[in-house]
Structure 1
Amino acid sequence: MEPTQPAEDLILTQQPPASELGDPEDPGEEAADGSDTVVLSLFPCTPEPVNPEPDASVSSPQGSSLKHSTTLTNRQRGNEVSALPATLDSLSIHQLAAQGELDQLKEHLRKGDNLVNKPDERGFTPLIWASAFGEIETVRFLLEWGADPHILAKERESALSLASTGGYTDIVGLLLERDVDINIYDWNGGTPLLYAVRGNHVKCVEALLARGADLTTEADSGYTPMDLAVALGYRKVQQVIENHILKLFQSNLVPADPE
C-alpha cells in the first residue's frame, strides 16, 4: 500500500489535451498510458491507435485536468484502506468527497451549516468533486444530505457535465432524477452530451439521449455531438446517435389515431 499523495493532487492543473483514458464503463480496460489524468476538450484530435475503439475520457476546456491521487487509484482497485488517518485529518471537505472518504466527510458536515454546498476556489462543491471522480456512494450521500445538484462552478462546470465527462452513467442518472438541466452548458459551450461523446462513453450517450438531451447544440468549436463522433471515428457513439435520430424520425411519421 502506497502512502497518500499530498492534497495538491486533487487540484486542477494545466496539461496539453492529449491524454487518453479507458472508459470507466469498462473496468476491464486499463488507461492507455497508465495515467489518472482526465482532460476536457471539445476540439477533436486524432486518438492514439492503441485499441480499435479507443475510450477517451475528457475533462475541461483549454486542457484543464482533474488528477486522481495514487491513493484514490488504489482504493478503486479494491484496497480496503485508502489513506492514513493522520493524512485524512488534513484533507478538505472537497478532497474527502473526491476520494470517497465517507466517514470523514460526514464528520466535516456535522461541524457546521451549509458545508455540503461550500465551494472551493474554483466554485467546485463536494458534490461536483465526487461526481467528477465517479464516487457514486458519496454522490448519493451528498444528495440525501441536501447537496444542490444545480450549482455551477465559476466557469459553469456542473456535476452533470463532469459525470458525463467521466462516463459515470449511474451518477448521471442520479443527477437527472433531481431535475438538473440536461443541456446545461459551460463557458466553452460544452454540454453533458457533448462531453460524453468526446469521451466515447457509449452508455452515457445512450442515457442522455433517452432523457432528451439536445442533439443540435454546438460547442464554441462548432461541433455538434454527431460532428464530434464522426471526426473522432467513434463508430459506436455515431451508431447510437443515428439510431436515436431514426427513432425520432419514425415517431414523427406515426399517423394520428382516427377520431
Structure 2
Amino acid sequence: MEGEAAEPPPGDGDPQEVPKKGENGSDPKDPPGCPQPDRDILDQGEGIPLKHSNTLTNRQRGNQISALPATLDTLSIHQLAAQGELSQLREHLQKGENLVNKPDERGFTPLLWAAAFGEIETVRYLLEWGADPHVLAKERESALSLASMGGYTDIVTMLLERNVDINIYDWNGGTPLLYAVRGNHVKCVEALLARGADLTTEADSGYTPMDLAVALGHKKVQQVMENHILKLFQKKELE
C-alpha cells in the first residue's frame, strides 16, 4: 500500500526533534545500555495501515492517478484500534467472541495498539468492552509501557485505575517509568510516581530512572523525581 507515514501524536513532554538512529537502532544521544523500546512498535509497518495524509495527492494536483488507499472495511481489528476507527472497531467486535483480546503475530492485542498510538477513546472503549489491560506481548510489552513511552498520561492513568503492574518490565528491563523518563514526559513521570512507581528499579544496563534522567539531561524530569524523593523522606520523618 502506498501512502505517507504518519507520526504518532506527541506526548506531554517538551517537543523534541527526533534524532537519527545509530548503527544499533539507538539514538546517538542515549547513554550506553539505555533501555531501548522496540522502534517498530511506534512505526506503522507491514500490518498497520498508514493514516490518510492531508498532503495533496497526485490526483488532486491533476497529475498521474495515484493508488487508492485500503478502505476501512479491509482493515484488521488491530489496524482499526491503532488508527482509532471506533465505529468500524465496534462492528468487528460484534462479529465474534474473544476478538477484543485477540493477539496479532507479535502478541499485540487491539488495546496494546491503541495505547501505543495514544488513541484514548479507543482505549476507553476497549476496556469497557472487556479488553484485558494485563496482557503482555511476546517480548513482555504492556499497554502501560507503550502509553508511557508515548507520554500519553491520560491513558497511563486509565490503565493504573485497572490495577495493572506499575513496575512491569519488558525484554530489556525497561519499565513504564524508565520509558517515561527516557521520553522526557514530565506529566507521565509525575502520574507514575504518584501511583507508587519504583524509583530504584534498574534496567538490564543498570540505569535507574534518576540515572537515566541525568545522563539524558532531562532536568525537568530529574526535578520531579527529586521532589518526589524529598516528599517520601518528609513523610517518613512524620511517621
Contact kept in structure 2, 1:163 and 1:169, CA below 8 Å: yes
Q: 1:152 matched to which residue of 2?
A: 136
Task: In structure 1, give the amino acid aligned to 2:100.
Answer: V
Q: Which residue of 1 aligns with 2:62?
A: none
- 2:17 corresponds, among 32, 45, 52, to 32
The 3 A distance-change label for structure 1 pair 86 and 224 is closer
2:79 aligned counterpart, secondary structure: helix
**Structure 2 unaligned residues grouped into runs of 5+:** 55-67
Question: Which amino acid in the other structure matches residue 46 of structure 1?
Answer: K
Match of 1:95 among 68, 79, 87: 79
Q: Is 1:4–1:71's contact at 8 Å kept on the other side of the alignment?
A: no
**Cα deviation digits, residues 160-211 of structure 1 (max 9, x gap):** 0000000000000000010000000101101000000000000000000000
Q: 1:221 to 1:72 in 2, by over 3 A?
A: farther
For 1:206, the equivalent position in structure 2 comes to 190
Q: CA deviation at 1:222?
A: 1.1
Offset at residue 87 of structure 1 (A):
1.3
Structure 1: which 4+ aligned runs deviate by more than 3 Å?
A: 3-6, 20-23
TM-score (normalizing by structure 2): 0.80
Shift of 1:86: 5.7
How many residues align structurally? 215
TM-superposed CA distance for 1:71, in Å, is: 1.9
Q: Distance in 2 between matches of 1:232 and 1:196?
A: 12
Asked if 1:183 corresponds to 2:167, the answer is: yes
* Percentage identity across paired residues of the two chains: 72
* Contact 2:80-2:89 at 8 Å conserved across structures: yes
Contact 2:19–2:27 (CA under 8 A) maintained in structure 1 = no
CA distance in 2, matches of 1:246, 1:220: 27
State the Cα distance separating 1:5 from its structure 2 match.
3.6
Equivalent residues of 1:22, 1:32 under 8 A apart: no
When the two chains are superposed, the root-mean-square deviation of aligned CA atoms in Å is 3.1
Check whether the contact 1:98–1:129 (CA below 8 A) recurs between aligned residues. yes
Amino acid paired to 2:123: V
The residue number in structure 2 matching 1:46 is 29
1:120 corresponds in structure 2 to: 104
- CA positional deviation for 1:64: 3.8
- Inter-CA distance 135–91: structure 2 relative to 1 (3 Å threshold): same
Q: Is 1:239–2:207 an aligned residue pair?
A: no
Structure 1 residues not aligned, in runs of 5+: 11-19, 48-57, 75-83
Q: In 2, Cα distance between the equivalents of 1:135 and 1:172?
A: 12
- In structure 2, the residue matched to 1:71 is 51
Q: Find the counterpart in structure 1 of residue 211 from structure 2.
A: 227
- What's the CA shift for 1:32? 2.5
* Counterpart amino acid of residue 233 in structure 2: F
Partner of 2:64: none
Amino acid at match of 1:247: K
Query: Which residue number corresponds to residue 52 of structure 1?
Result: none
| 2:172–2:204 Cα contact (<8 Å) kept | yes
Distance 1:22 1:106 in 2: 23
Q: Secondary structure at the match of 2:71?
A: helix
**1: CA distance between counterparts of 2:218 and 2:105?**
35
Paired with 1:88 and 1:112, the residues of 2 have a C-alpha distance of: 19
- Distance in 2 between residues matched to 1:170 and 1:207, nearest whole Å: 9
Q: 1:44·1:228 contact (CA, 8 Å) conserved in 2?
A: no
- 8 Å Cα contact 1:59/1:165 also seen in 2: no
Contact 2:36 2:172 in 1 (8 A): no
Picking from 129, 132, 138, the partner of 2:113 is 129
Tell me how far apart the structure 2 counterparts of residues 103 and 118 of structure 1 sit (CA, whole Å): 18
